[in-house]
Amino acid sequence: MKAICFYFQVHQPYRLRQYRFFDIGKNHNYFDDFANRTILRKVADKCYLPTNKLMLDLIEKYGSKFKIAFSLSGTVMTQFKEYAPEVIESFRKLADTGCVEFLAETYAHSMSSLKSETEFKRQVESQVAMVQELFGKTPTIFRNTELIYSDDISDMVAAMGYKAQLSEGAKHIMGWRSPNYLYTSASSPQLKLLLKNFTLSDDIAFRFSNQGWEEWPLTTEKFVGWLNALNPSEEIVNLFMDYETFGEHQWKETGIFDFLRKLPEQVFENSDFQFLTPAEVVDQFQPISPMHVRYPISWADEERDLTAWLGNEMQNEAFDRLYQLEEKMKNVSDPKLRHDWNLLQTSDHFYYQCTKWFSDGDVHKYFNPYESPYDAFINFMNVLADFKLEVDKHLADQKSSSGNIHEEIEQLEAKIKELKDLKVP
């Protein structure tokens, strides 16, 4: 038997409000609560709730034959709790079936893996704790933000005890090799790698409604025919995509829900593929070779690299300035500052600053609140300037408070000594 591994990324950022230069030092509320609530509710109604209901229907119809996997960022889970608790309940129903696997990732959907092993590990632990709290599951497979992967990152993931990591089957890395096998990290061989088949994944995620596409309309019969046409020796087809594909990127009117509803039946009746979760793929298949990735790759844009987030001077400046605060944040105890620190690391803030407005422009405009990447940069840097002032003020207050406590202790100790020296008549 061959395997289809269906994995979906679920994420929404906390978008920043319009923050002017003149707000610095005066207003410490950085996030647009109205926009975040409105967008989350919109996507919940168009995507999360109807797609979760459809997935539950498919599992009830086919039982353990139909299996899927999710990774949910901490920011989207927190927004579910705030704005749409019924979405959490719908994911719980899926979790209770035993046919759904939840993966680990960073809480803030951040790029901390590129900057700090300590911060990276802290965020992963926070996201995993939230998955355990909400769904009663403990992830054993890791998925980094935007499938960002390198040998160095795999070493950190392996050290945290994960069995496998998801990544992109990028052409410039794969060469003649196929993504349709299990691989291992070249530097940490105990870590298995599941690689996205970007052609078949993107046929659903990006090309499904494109009437200019030569393969439009995409039917389940056609898609399963492509699966059957693969080299007979190839074992696994990893279909990785944003969950918002269903109902948001591809609207209901395109027929995307009908396609998803009919796909399992077509697979079972006309192919020798089975649906497995990532953990099951790791358990049932043997890796064929190590994969060496010296420079980070991702699943974004045509280049499959980091240029969507760190491709210009603005992005790099903002990214470096943000992580210059890491050492200070280790001493910050204020819950609001800690929460803001998490949310400011979300990769979307840097994505909005991207200047690649060519073949990938439509992707970069998705729920983008800015008219230009320059506006996104200025807004972020204004927020970051105020945040730094607040962090410095908090640390100064902590130091002053700590100094006062030490003075009081010294005074009390002197008083005790004085009393001990008194001669009782």
pLDDT tens, 191-210? 999 999 999 999 999 999 99
Strands (DSSP E) contained in 103-163 are 141-143
Rounded-to-10 torsion of CA 397, 398, 401, 407? -130
Measured distance CA(112)–CA(326) in Å, rounded: 10
Fold for domain 2-291? Answer: 7-stranded beta/alpha barrel (3.20.110)
> Please, which residues have CB within 8 angstroms of residue 141's CB and are 6 or more apart in sequence?
69, 101, 103, 104, 162, 163, 164, 165, 166, 194, 278, 279, 282
The pLDDT confidence band at residue 358, using thresholds 50, 70 and 90, is very low
Q: Domain residue spans in the chain?
A: 2-291, 308-411
Q: Is 146 a catalytic residue?
A: yes
Distance, CA of 302 to chain centre? 20
Quote the pTM value: 0.91
Sorting pLDDT into bands at 50, 70 and 90, what band is 303?
A: confident
pLDDT confidence of residue 361: 43
Q: Which position has the higher pLDDT, 363 or 98?
A: 98
When the pLDDT of each residue in the chain is averaged and rounded to a whole number, the result is 93
pLDDT reported for residue 249: 94
| Calpha distance 57→6 (Å, rounded) | 16
Q: Give CA separation, 234 vs 59, 317, 409, in Å.
A: 26, 43, 71
Angle (nearest 5°) at CA 386 between 34 and 78: 40
CB 102 within 8 A of CB 139: yes
**3-state secondary structure at position 350:** helix
Residue of 101, 105, 119, 146 marked active site: 146
Identify which of 157, 163, 107 has the alpha carbon closest to the alpha carbon of residue 284: 163
Q: Could you tell me if 154 and 165 are in contact, meaning their C-beta atoms sit under 8 angstroms apart?
A: yes
Pairing, β 68-72 against β 141-143: unpaired
- DSSP-derived letter for residue 29 is -
Report whether 70 contacts 7 (CB < 8 A): yes
